[in-house]
């Protein structure tokens, strides 16, 4: 019977230049990182690039990883920061080249009829609703509701007080419920 | 009485939670290209030796030029050395290498002003 090496063991081996150890870490956590990045960016071709970027940053900062937090938490922090950077870049690009498509997207308002819901694919609607959130609110939603971190863990990852996490989460979920109300009501 | 709204709100949260998670999973699958681990490992391998690679590329590109320049300089130096053997005074190594006339008091004071005026427009 072979024991699966822990993340810490793999990190120590990777620090000494063992590339197979880093590859194992990568394969172990790539789905989780991809989910976090996809939660932040939505359906986008940038997801693949950004996941690569996260692991490259992780590799470059292996020596700085002290093991205070779990490897997955450390990777999530890198993923969130990289995604926030990407969203900032995207915003700058949008302000330079305003897309007409973006302007013509009409989000259904709360209280719209079921027939209108049919026009939107559910996934697309959720992506649109997430896009309506401010990046920092989105980060809280992704950490708490998508990745399942506790309020304390989310606060530590984002470097903000727990109260701020709770208030951002409350505002963000209220906004999401407003937009996704019909979907939520439909399936209850 | 208060139990009902609270449980409904909890259900809503759970539902929102599962919807968001499901959407993120779908986005992750649709946004990812195959062989991610291979591509990242390849990038990491090139990341390890960027300076060495740059030096090797530069050396490969400029090696013929460097060799030709070295041969040319060697040719000039040997020619200058052979010419400087004919000088009356022993020249310094710099004068040998650059093929300069040794500077002596005789050569310094032998400037001919008439020749200078004739050659100057």
Its ipTM equals 0.79
Would you call A56 an interface residue with chain B, using a CB distance cutoff of 8 Å? Answer: yes
Integer Cα distance of B120 and B118 in angstroms = 6
What pLDDT is stored for residue A43 in this prediction?
84
pLDDT tier, A148 (very low <50, low <70, confident <90, very high otherwise): very high
pLDDT above 90: percentage of residues in chain A:
63
Sign of CA pseudo-dihedral A148, A151, A155, A158: positive
Q: Name the pTM for this structure.
A: 0.69
Integer Cα distance of A32 and A56 in angstroms = 16
Would you call A78 an interface residue with chain B, using a CB distance cutoff of 8 Å? Answer: no
Task: Mark yes or no for CB contact B15/A187 under 8 Å.
Answer: yes
Is the pLDDT confidence value at A67 over 50?
yes
User: Which helix (H) or strand (E) is A91 found in, with range?
Assistant: helix A71-96
Task: Mark yes or no for CB contact B37/A23 under 8 Å.
Answer: yes
What pLDDT is stored for residue B45 in this prediction?
86
Which residues in chain B are closer than 8 Å to A124, comparing Cβ atoms?
none
Chain A interface, mutation test: which of B15, B18, B40, B49, most A Cβ atoms within 10 Å? B40
């Amino acid at each position: 019977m072979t024991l699966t090496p822990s993340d810490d063991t793999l990190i120590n081996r990777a620090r000494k230049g063992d590339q197979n150890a880093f590859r194992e870490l990568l394969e172990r956590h790539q789905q989780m990182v991809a989910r976090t990045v996809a939660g932040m960016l939505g359906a986008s071709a940038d997801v693949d690039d950004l996941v690569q970027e996260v692991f490259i940053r992780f590799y470059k900062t292996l020596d700085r990883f002290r093991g205070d937090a779990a490897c997955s938490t450390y990777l999530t922090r890198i993923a969130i920061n990289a995604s926030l950077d990407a969203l900032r870049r995207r915003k700058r690009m949008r302000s330079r080249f305003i897309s007409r498509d973006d302007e013509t997207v009409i989000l259904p308002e709360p209280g719209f009829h079921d027939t209108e819901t049919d026009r939107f694919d559910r996934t697309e609607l959720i992506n649109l609703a997430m896009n309506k959130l401010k990046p920092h609110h989105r980060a809280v939603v992704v950490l708490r509701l998508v990745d399942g971190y506790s309020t304390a863990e989310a606060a530590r990852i984002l470097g903000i007080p727990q109260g701020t996490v709770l208030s951002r989460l409350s505002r963000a979920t209220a906004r999401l419920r407003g937009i996704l109300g019909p979907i939520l009501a439909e399936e209850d | 009485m208060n139990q009902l709204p609270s449980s409904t709100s909890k259900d809503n949260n759970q539902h929102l939670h599962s919807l968001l998670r499901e959407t993120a999973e779908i986005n992750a699958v649709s946004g990812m290209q195959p062989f991610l681990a291979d591509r990242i490992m390849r990038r990491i391998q090139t990341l390890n030796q960027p300076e060495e690679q740059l030096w090797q590329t530069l050396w490969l590109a400029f090696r013929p030029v460097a060799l030709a320049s070295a041969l040319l300089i060697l040719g000039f130096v040997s020619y200058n050395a052979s010419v400087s053997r004919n000088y009356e005074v022993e020249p310094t190594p710099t004068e040998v290498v650059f093929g300069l006339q040794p500077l002596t008091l005789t050569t310094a004071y032998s400037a001919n002003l008439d020749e200078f005026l004739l050659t100057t427009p």
